[in-house]
Amino acid sequence: MQRKSERIFRIYQRLKSTPQTIDELYLWSKKVDLGIGRRTLYRYLEELENTLHEPGFELVTTNQNSKEKRWHVVSAKRIKDDQRSEAMRRYYLMKHLSGNHLQTLTSGFLEEIERELNQHAEPDHYAGLLRNHLIVTGWAEACYSEKDTDVLLKLMRAMETKELVTLELLPVLSAEQPVKGIFDWAIHYIISHRGTLYVAAIRKGQKRFHFLEVESISKISFPNIRFRKHPPREEVESELSHRFGITYGEGPVYKVSILFHAAQHGSHGELLHPFLEKRSWHPTQRFIHDENGQLILQFQTQLNRELLGWIFMWMDQIKVLGPPQLVSLVGRKINDMQAVLNGREPGEGELY
């Protein structure tokens, strides 16, 4: 075997075992005494790419346009499996997040996935009956597109590989205070809230969580920087527990008390409107019953516009008992709405 052939074969074996950048290959070649430089390595890689004929294997490259470009010899089956895994993620994202809009998914694997999911399943009369008689209103359903799914897949990859992402955001869509500028973010968790997807993210150099709407991401790129680890879920849940919903709030955490005077108990003590106590409105919630059998919901949160919107949803069926700051805020917003109805400008108040 010629010396050049030996070198190329050893490089081939190295790339078969682990992905390599040109710097990593060069350091390895010095360590094993191949006696070649970077220019020769590039030439050998080009020859490998053009002449690799081992059945079922291909030389692939990743991070094409960066200094972290890597070469790797992988089996064609693995490439197909990777494509299939991505297609299945895409399928399940669309199915569970936007079931009425599966037609926007254009992956060629969709029919194959459907066949595989169904090939071992027994025909189910009741499932068919449900499909035939189930009506989904689609009210406020998010119409996720192929582009949105691509963004989600990139965010999922960033979480799996612990890579920072550079995000350009549309601040007018953010539930947070507007984030101006283009920054690097560590993406830690995906959150589904009221039909909208958010990511729990921390900006590079900071410690505070931001909850960014996926739809507000207008551009995403990878600067090839990694972060060490994801914070525990408890930290994200703790941050959310200070808010009502996911919307940013300012100021202290208040003890909020809401009286549902339309929710009475019957003669046997059961609540005539069980909808209320079966729902999770806030992580800190607790229900109590006053001497008149009326239901009071209490929880601790900052004041934000999502809380106000939820309160006004109930209209005259509730009464805000406290804190005084929230009672005052609700009164001011009622006055603002009355002013708008009468053709006047609303007063200046908080952003929410």
Domain ranges of the chain: 3-77, 146-241, 250-341
Is domain 3-77 classified as CATH 1.10.10?
A: yes
Q: What is the mean pLDDT of residues 288-295?
A: 83
Nearest to residue 220, comparing CAs of 136, 320, 125, 152? 152
Position 184 pLDDT exceeds 50: yes
Query: Largest Cα–Cα distance in the chain?
Result: 96
Neighbours of 270 (CB within 10 A): 8
User: C-alpha angle with apex 145: 143 to 150, nearest 5 degrees?
Assistant: 135
| Least reliable range by pLDDT among 4-13, 83-92, 206-215 | 83-92
Position 292 pLDDT exceeds 90: no
Nearest to residue 162, comparing CAs of 210, 226, 221, 222? 226
Euclidean distance between CA atoms 227 and 189, whole angstroms: 14
Alpha helix segments (H runs only) across 162-232? none
Q: Which residue has the higher pLDDT, 108 or 87?
A: 87
Q: Which residue has the higher pLDDT, 138 or 349?
A: 138
Chain-wide mean pLDDT for the chain? 79
Q: What is the pTM of this model?
A: 0.61
| Least reliable range by pLDDT among 205-209, 276-280, 324-328 | 276-280
Q: What is the mean pLDDT of residues 262-281?
A: 65
Neighbours of 308 (CB within 10 A): 18
CA distances from 265 to 257, 269, 314 (A): 19, 5, 19
Supply the pLDDT for residue 264: 59
Write out the two tokens for 89.
């993620």
The conformation of residue 214, written as its DSSP 8-state character, comes to G
Position 263 pLDDT exceeds 90: no
Band of residue 104 on the pLDDT scale cut at 50, 70, 90: very low
Q: Which residues pair with 301 in a beta bridge?
A: 254
Is domain 146-241 classified as CATH 2.30.29?
A: no
Supply the pLDDT for residue 202: 95
End-to-end CA distance of the chain: 76
CA distances from 346 to 247, 258, 305, 324 (A): 22, 26, 16, 21
The conformation of residue 262, written as its DSSP 8-state character, comes to T
The 319-322 sheet, strands edge to edge: 286-289, 295-303, 250-260, 319-322
Supply the pLDDT for residue 88: 62
**Percentage of residues in the chain having pLDDT higher than 70:** 71
| Least reliable range by pLDDT among 65-79, 101-115, 251-265 | 101-115
Position 117 pLDDT exceeds 80: no
